Amino acid sequence: MNKSNIYFNLVIIILCFSNMLSGQITGKNWISQLPQSMKNKSIASITIPGTHDSGTKNLPIAFGTQYSSIEEQLNFGVRFLDIRLNNGLFIAHGVAPDPSQPFSSVLNTCSNFLKKNPNEFIIMSVKEETTVSLPAWALLMTTEITSNKNLFYDLNNKKIPTINEAKGKIVLLSRFSNPDAGIRFDVSDNTPDDEIGKNGNTIYVQDRYDIDLQQSYRKEAIVKDFLKKAASNSNEDALFINFTSAVGSLYGLPNPKKLADEDINPFLMKELDTQGRNRYGCILMDCINADHAKKIYENNFPISLGEPITDVIGVSRGSKSTADSDVRGMESKGWKLFKGQNNKAVDFNAGASGHHIYILYKTGSGTPLTGLKAYIRESSMSKTSNFVLSCDDGAMTDFNNDAGGKYIYLEKIRNSGEEPIRKLGVANFSTASNLVKEENGASANFNRGIEKGDNIYLKIYK
């Protein structure tokens, strides 16, 4: 098998996700950073952070489920809002209203966010939070929505839209008695698994909320099973909505925040790591924060958005066994070996008959790297402290060592105010974005000058 096939299969990922890698992925823009190939699919085909009773930051302990405002949640990366309104169209949970939050202010917050981030969308479930359904409520609600119809995805279209169709809009899920507004969303009360089939849509909902505080494991098991159900379902048009929220009693009073903080949310974060990156649908949380939202929306991307890279070194050896031994020695000191697809080490001199050259890196505490630059010369360069060094004698690492080609050196750069490097990738073509550059701005081929060697480029993920 050709070495380029062994070491550089990451080209597939880079081709598929080139637009994603062109900018920094944040809570404000993660939908816009999805690959184009995904954007023609249903909004049900991705994993979406959401909140239960999204507007309840200001409500008392028994009714409040969030620490952050709706604006803060959207900036975290939340794209599913659960809005509950009382008779006056004010945010409410049960019998507790928030007079400072009329529905109009919620819409204004969403409108401002979408104006600043026009390639994002927001799914909004709206529920009538009243003990008795009133015709006047539906009339008020219809008036409010139709007067802001340009903010919503086509209210007459009952089908779940694609990502491209929804961008810049609110997708309305109606939990109230007006079949002409948005996508109908009837949910049975306290359901562990409800299937809704209306207007050609398939929606699965888990909203089992009545859980004793001392038996949170019951809710955890329900959430876990529903995650698995979403991940194993091959119908990308089926929308999964998983409420991780629950109510428990503390000294006779419901305390949803305690249950979320101490049990459900830590369990969910661990379970997402255990199950791995997948399509889980909409995950609606109590007490969400930026880290929670990021953990959820990262499921849509093939790379980690982890700790910044703080240092890089090169290992260059004539024999593979010696290079492998040196790499193991560096790994025992906390360095991480840069690997390609299928967990294969990436030899930066592959196919050129020179030394075996590997890159190792460190992450975490320390000043992060913000850039890398390649220096390609006809002759060797003198040692400079900012260059990537070999691991034993301090000699500068020539990335074309003994291959008969030009001398190639890699410099690490730290500039304040720039986004740090979080991952390095490999491409064996020169047209990809964010490749390490030479001084003259050309993409740096780390195997340059050898006719039979592969073209090897280093890609920066920020």
Same domain, yes or no, for 68 and 211?
Answer: yes
Same domain, yes or no, for 157 and 294?
Answer: yes
Flag whether 236 is in a domain.
yes
Same domain, yes or no, for 290 and 309?
Answer: no
Q: What is the pLDDT of residues 404-444, one digit of tens each?
A: 788 888 888 988 878 888 888 787 767 677 889 988 888 88
Q: CATH code at 47? A: 3.20.20.190
Q: What is the pLDDT of residues 87-106, one digit of tens each?
A: 899 999 988 999 999 999 99
Using an 8 Å Cβ cutoff, are 85 and 76 in contact?
no
Give the residue from 245, 253, 256, 166 showing the smallest Cα distance to 207.
245
Give the residue from 413, 398, 391 showing the smallest Cα distance to 460.
413
Q: What is the pLDDT of residues 295-332, one digit of tens each?
A: 999 998 865 556 889 988 888 888 889 888 988 988 88
The alpha helices in 187-319, defined as continuous H runs, are 216-232, 256-259, 265-275, 290-297
Q: Point out the domain boundary residue: 240, 272, 300.
A: 300
Q: CA 169 to CA 167: how far, in whole Å?
A: 5
Count of Cβ atoms closer than 10 Å to residue 361 Cβ? 19
281: left (phi over 0), alpha (psi -120 to 50) or beta: left
Flag whether 360 is in a domain.
yes
Q: Point out the domain boundary residue: 300, 318, 348.
A: 300
The alpha helices in 233-381, defined as continuous H runs, are 256-259, 265-275, 290-297, 320-331
Q: Point out the domain boundary residue: 300, 318, 339.
A: 300
Which of 160-169, 274-283, 373-382 has the lowest average pLDDT? Answer: 373-382
Q: CATH code at 344? A: 2.100.10.50
- What integer pLDDT is reported at residue 344 of this predicted model? 77
Same domain, yes or no, for 347 and 400?
Answer: yes
Same domain, yes or no, for 234 and 334?
Answer: no
Same domain, yes or no, for 218 and 177?
Answer: yes
Domain total for the chain? 2
Same domain, yes or no, for 254 and 121?
Answer: yes
- What integer pLDDT is reported at residue 305 of this predicted model? 59
Give the confidence band of 59 by pLDDT, cuts at 50, 70, 90: very high
Same domain, yes or no, for 261 and 399?
Answer: no
164: pLDDT strictly greater than 50 = yes
Flag whether 4 is in a domain.
no
Same domain, yes or no, for 81 and 202?
Answer: yes
Q: Which domain holds residue 190?
A: 24-300
Q: Residue type at 371?
A: G
Percent of the chain with pLDDT over 70: 86
Same domain, yes or no, for 157 and 265?
Answer: yes
196: its two tokens: 């809704």
